[in-house]
């Protein structure tokens, strides 16, 4: 898009300021903070941003299918593969932040005791239904259930859904003694809609997923894309992300 500014001094002169539309592929776990930062970036730069969210596996599949864009924001493992496949400019790779896993119930439901790994195990055995996704947090939860020794015992209670939104919607519409797991950022996003963050996972079994941003090799506007990556990884940006549950990098 071209934006033309017409100035009248003695005569008439025109100055053209180029504004680009950036295409961003992003993990959904950073959505609440990223949406706010995109609004600020658009006001500050004049560039517009079109963002498509997805889970880690979905981002991997889109990249493998040849989907292009200007900026990729993805879990570390997905970004590592994108670097190996030369799909991003590794020199621009910067960490946005990290997100932990939380336990969620519907508003008004009894909250299980999940203060320790042992109490979490007891809560899982007592639950009617346990819900988690097929994204990065869900992959970890699947391993955790085995680690806690309950994977086989609760196999018939488990409901797997595609992404964090689907976890929240399933729990909000549910009944009985149900709880689930998800990225803390996604749980907080749904709290006004009927979800409730019980607590983060106990420290002994907590898992953080780090999210990195980088300019894609297919970028049509690499300079504007690099400007965007810098904008979402500044100290000011980290304050915006921290407010919605994305912690600063270690």
The one-digit pLDDT tens for each residue of the chain (250 residues) are 333 333 333 333 333 346 899 999 999 999 999 999 999 999 999 999 999 999 999 999 999 999 999 999 999 999 999 999 999 999 999 999 999 999 999 999 999 999 999 999 999 999 999 999 998 889 999 999 999 999 999 999 999 999 999 999 999 999 999 999 999 999 999 999 999 999 999 999 999 999 999 999 999 999 999 999 999 999 999 999 999 999 998 7
Q: What is the DSSP string of 119-144?
A: HHHHHHHH-SEEEEESSHHHHHHHHH
Cβ atoms of residues 27 and 136 within 8 Å: yes
The answer to whether the CB of 182 falls within 8 A of the CB of 49 is no
Count structural domains, the chain: 2
- Judge whether 135 lies within some domain: yes
Contacts of 111 (CB under 8 A, 6+ apart): 105, 196, 198
Whether residue 250 lies inside any domain: the answer is no
pTM exceeds 0.85 for this model? no
Residues 118 and 191 in one domain: yes
Residue 110, in any domain of the structure: yes
Same domain flag for 29 and 59: yes
């Amino acid at each position: 898009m071209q934006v033309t500014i017409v100035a009248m001094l003695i005569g008439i002169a025109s100055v053209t300021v180029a504004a680009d539309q950036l295409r961003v592929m992003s993990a959904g776990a950073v959505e609440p903070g990223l949406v706010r930062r995109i609004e600020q970036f658009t006001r500050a730069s004049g560039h517009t941003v079109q963002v498509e969210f997805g889970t880690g596996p979905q981002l991997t599949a889109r990249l493998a299918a040849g989907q292009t864009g200007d900026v990729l924001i993805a879990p570390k493992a997905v970004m590592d593969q994108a670097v190996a496949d030369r799909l991003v400019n590794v020199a621009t790779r910067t960490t946005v932040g990290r997100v932990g896993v939380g336990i969620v119930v519907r508003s008004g439901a009894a909250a299980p005791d999940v203060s320790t790994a042992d109490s979490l195990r007891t809560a899982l055995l007592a639950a009617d239904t346990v819900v988690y996704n097929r994204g990065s947090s869900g992959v970890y939860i699947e391993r955790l259930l085995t680690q806690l020794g309950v994977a086989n015992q609760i196999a018939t209670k488990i409901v797997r859904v595609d992404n964090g939104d689907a976890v929240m919607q399933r729990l909000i519409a549910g009944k009985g003694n149900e709880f689930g797991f998800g990225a803390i950022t996604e749980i907080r996003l749904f709290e006004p809609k009927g979800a409730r963050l019980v607590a983060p996972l106990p420290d002994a079994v907590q898992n953080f997923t780090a999210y990195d941003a980088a300019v894609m090799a297919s970028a049509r506007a690499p300079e504007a894309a690099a400007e965007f990556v810098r904008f979402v990884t500044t100290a000011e940006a980290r304050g915006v992300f921290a407010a919605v549950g994305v912690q600063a990098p270690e």
